Structures are given as structure tokens and as C-alpha cells.
Amino acid sequence: MLKFTEEHEWLRVEGDVATVGITAHAAEQLGDLVFVELPEVGKALSKGDDAAVVESVKAASEVYAPLDGEIVEINPAIADDPSIVNSDPQGNGWFFKLKLADKAALDALMDEDAYKAMIA
């Protein structure tokens, strides 16, 4: 299941764990990323909390927690090579995995059609 937020994050949900990253649209808007700061594994987040930081040649931006949960894994490859986010934002450019506190909260997020309509 793929879901999207108004803050341009995507979530790929498997069981009660969501893999989270920024959308291709967000990566394009930011431009070439030069730095990624990831959260710590084990950190509890509430929806809307700052989860990660990205810096590009144009701007710095926050990546927000899309839902309540706990960080169970991070993607160190993008900290070492932020360009992965630009080249494959919705694949190998994922940021972190979040064990969801409440899967029912996913219903409040957008599906891909709704997200595409929002950015159109």
C-alpha cells in the first residue's frame, strides 16, 4: 500500500511498518541534495514531528513524521550519498522505517491519485 502526505512524503506500508521517503516532486523541487540527517533508531515520533533534515544546493527542509510511531530502521546509504534521493526518491532513496502506532491513521493520508491531483 502506497500513501502520501501533504508535506510530500510517501509511505510504503507492509504490515505495521511504513517505509518513508520524500516524493519525486519534492526531490525535484529541492534540487540536488548535498546533505541528509536521519533520525535515531528507537526514536518515538508523533505525526508532524521533525524526523529528518535534507539540504540541497537551493534550501534546507525538514522531513516530517507522517504518522505516530517508532523509528525501527534508517537508510545510511543516503547519508553517505544524498544524490540517491534525487535519482531514486521512491525506491533506494527511502529515509526511514516507522513502526506505526495506529494503522487506522493511514486512512487519513492520500492515495497516489489524490497526491497527483494535489501537485497538478
Quote the pLDDT of residue 87. Answer: 97
- How many CB atoms within 10 Å of residue 99? 15
- State the DSSP string of 94-117: --EEEEES-GGGGGGSB-HHHHHH
Check residue 1 and report its DSSP letter. -
Express the helix, strand and coil content of the chain in percent, nearest 5 each. Answer: 25, 40, 35
Total domains present in the chain: 1
Question: Bridge-partner residues for 96, per DSSP?
Answer: 20, 74
pTM over 0.85? The answer is yes
- CATH code of 54's domain: 2.40.50.100
pLDDT band at 34 (very low <50, low <70, confident <90, very high): very high
Quote the pLDDT of residue 7. Answer: 96
Quote the pLDDT of residue 117. Answer: 98
CA angle (68 as vertex; 65, 74 as ends), nearest 5: 50
Enclosing domain of residue 71: 2-119
**C-alpha cell belonging to residue 37:** 540527517
Quote the pLDDT of residue 110. Answer: 98
pLDDT single digits (tens) 14-28: 999 999 999 999 999
| Average of per-residue pLDDT across 88-113 | 97
Check residue 18 and report its DSSP letter. E
Q: To which residue does cell 491519485 refer? A: 113
